């Protein structure tokens, strides 16, 4: 995929993630919600083939409106496919940062074993860990009939 198409897609995906956080009651500024493609390029760069931006530069950390200690992080993975090792690293980061909610945005999905870790092991830890494919976030389905 060429840089122009990829940067456009990353902008749309991040915008959808910010809207999702806002819809769930997390504090997201109107400026972030209204960020144009040009503003996105100015902030993050316009050459994803040169890691400008790297997907991990697009991460979002937000606090809940009703409880500022309830924080959510949306992490964009630089790796195409995520395995068990990466899931465990994300879980460690959640513990270290005292986070109870994570949204992981992946390019091509999880390995079957990584999916098992998310479904079986994380369920018992009272944390929210959701995984979305980038392609699922290109459009905010709550805005379309």
Q: Where are the domains of the chain?
A: 3-143
- 57 touches 12 (CB < 8 A): no
Tokens of 131: 């995984």
Does position 142 have pLDDT exceeding 80, yes or no? no
How big is the CA angle at 13 (ends 10 and 19), to the nearest 5 degrees? 140
Q: What average pLDDT does range 11-30 have in this prediction?
A: 97
**pLDDT digit string, tens, across residues 90-116:** 888 888 988 889 999 999 999 999 998
Q: Looking at the domain that runs over 3-143, which CATH code has it been given?
A: 3.40.1340.10
**pLDDT digit string, tens, across residues 28-51:** 999 999 999 999 999 999 999 899
Please report the pLDDT score of residue 119 as a whole number: 81
Please state the three-class secondary structure of 7-53 as a single string.
HHHHHHHHHHHHHHHHHCCECCCHHHHCCCHHHHHHHHCCEHHHCEC
Greatest C-alpha distance within the chain: 43
């Amino acid at each position: 995929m060429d840089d122009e198409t990829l940067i456009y897609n990353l902008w749309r995906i991040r915008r959808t993630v910010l809207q999702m956080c806002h819809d769930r009651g997390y504090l997201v500024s109107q400026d972030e919600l209204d960020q144009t493609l040009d503003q996105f390029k100015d902030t993050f760069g316009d050459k994803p083939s040169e890691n400008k931006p790297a997907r991990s530069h697009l991460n979002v950390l937000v606090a809940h409106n009703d409880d500022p200690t309830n924080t959510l992080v949306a992490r964009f993975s630089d790796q195409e496919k995520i395995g068990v090792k990466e899931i465990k690293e994300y879980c460690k980061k959640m513990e270290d940062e005292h986070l109870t909610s994570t949204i992981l945005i992946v390019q091509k999905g999880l390995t079957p074993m990584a999916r098992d870790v998310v479904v079986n092991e994380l369920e018992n830890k009272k944390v929210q860990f959701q995984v979305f494919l980038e392609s699922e976030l290109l459009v905010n389905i709550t805005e379309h009939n």
